Amino acid sequence: LPISGLRLRQDFGGLRALVAAQTGGAPNAPDADASKDVWLRVEGTVLDAGPWRLDLGGAILRSVGPTDDAGRLAWSLDAHLEAGAALLQAEVLGQSFVQAKRDGGQVDPQKGAYLLFGYTVSALMQPVLRLGFFDAPGLATGVDAGTTDEYDWSLGLNFFVLDDGPRGADRYVDHPE
């Protein structure tokens, strides 16, 4: 089966909660085992005054069920500040894969962060400058987890086409989790 699942969202005034469960497979690939990814995201508007709006949020994802390869635990914390046409957003994230059978229970930690600045230049266009890093020991170099502090830095310029959809961190998918 391709990735499928269930997503529930509930708004409580300035607080929003999202709970989801989905197959643990890769995009457009059959689910290889019985494990599923379950995640919870909570975000809230802590300031909404005039042109200023500040949203803070966090999420946690956990693989549950039997698996032949890795158990996954991921988390993120983010801030989203809008001031008129300007946007400042930041996120820190981390995840670990517990190599249950392949590496005898070794934990493979990964971490990253980004900062972006955007400015809405028209009703439909928002250019965004982004600086970020990701540290994933062992994935790119084949080095065992914990033996390297090398980071993959990225700098990018993106253009987002805006719509009348929801505000906050779920406006666009920033990283596929």
| Separation between Cα atoms, residue 157 and residue 117, nearest integer Å | 10
Please give the pLDDT value at position 134: 85
Please give the pLDDT value at position 145: 46
Please give the pLDDT value at position 62: 85
Give which of 77, 73, 140 is closest to 109, Cα–Cα: 73
Q: Where are the beta strands (DSSP E) in 13-69?
A: 15-23, 36-49, 52-64
Give which of 38, 31, 46 is closest to 8, Cα–Cα: 38
Please give the pLDDT value at position 53: 94
Please give the pLDDT value at position 28: 61
pTM of this prediction exceeds 0.75: no
**pLDDT tens, per residue, the chain with 177 residues:** 345 678 889 999 889 999 988 876 655 666 666 778 888 999 999 999 999 999 999 999 888 776 655 567 889 999 999 999 999 999 999 887 665 545 565 666 788 999 999 998 887 888 899 999 888 665 544 444 444 566 788 888 888 777 655 444 444 444 444
Please give the pLDDT value at position 36: 80
Please give the pLDDT value at position 5: 76
| Separation between Cα atoms, residue 104 and residue 131, nearest integer Å | 36
Please give the pLDDT value at position 106: 60
